[in-house]
A and B are shown apart, each in its own frame.
Chain A
């Protein structure tokens, strides 16, 4: 099927939604996909209005007989995106690893991840991601200060040693 045809098919199928069997399939997919969550719980994880709309409509209009395999594929991919563990921003880990020692960086990233996991259920993944970034940015200056102090101390020691041997 060409891309154009596929798009037309998707548009066409959007008007016909799902059968009972498809709903059962969706529910099974949700129940069997890690992390194990119910539909009600899933609503909390669903931040994309599009994904929420697809699922809500699927549940509401299950009496429709007509099913297209392409819809099933589309819904499955959306469900997978809903049920997959949301990830925190990747750049934050690199910044913290650069500024803190490896042990402290690991612990600091773990702390931010722990808050992120908690906030994903409380305020949703997109807001949790924003809070994660804000927390990382707030952490940069105190950690950078520590690095600068350490560099300053070493620079003073080296120049002291140099002066001692030169004099």
Chain B
């Protein structure tokens, strides 16, 4: 397992948005759910890393007028990506157990 926070968020967004996960929809999803807006560049950089690791696959869509004739790049999570994501979520859940917030803030 080797994924950063943004990569984890991008993977979660791709899974949630399947089969319509592309730059803008991923950005909107993260903004809605996580409360911050990653730049398009950081999303593509994260997806690039994930694709290199074999966690994500991409396919080109059709060009549309509102996109200035540019094609969308649709993303899907591979089986390896899904198991890595599950593992990272399990690790977070496990790390959360036994946290004592009051003592930390005092």
Residues of A within 8 A of B (CB): 88, 96, 99-100, 103-104, 106-115, 117-118, 135, 138-143, 145-146
- If over half of A's interface residues share one DSSP class (helix, strand or loop), that class is named, otherwise mixed; here it is helix
B39 touches A115 (CB 8 A): no
Residues of B within 8 A of A88 (CB): 68
B44 touches A107 (CB 8 A): yes
Closest-by-CB residue of B relative to A101 is: B48
A142 touches B39 (CB 8 A): yes
- If over half of B's interface residues share one DSSP class (helix, strand or loop), that class is named, otherwise mixed; here it is mixed
Min distance, Cβ A164 to any Cβ of chain B, angstroms: 24
Q: Is B22 part of the contact surface with A, judged by Cβ < 8 Å? A: yes
Known: A106-B70, A115-B24, A135-B40. 6 other contacts (CB 8 A): A96-B41, A103-B60, A107-B72, A109-B68, A143-B41, A143-B44
Partner of B70 from A99, A109, A142 at Cβ < 8 Å = A109
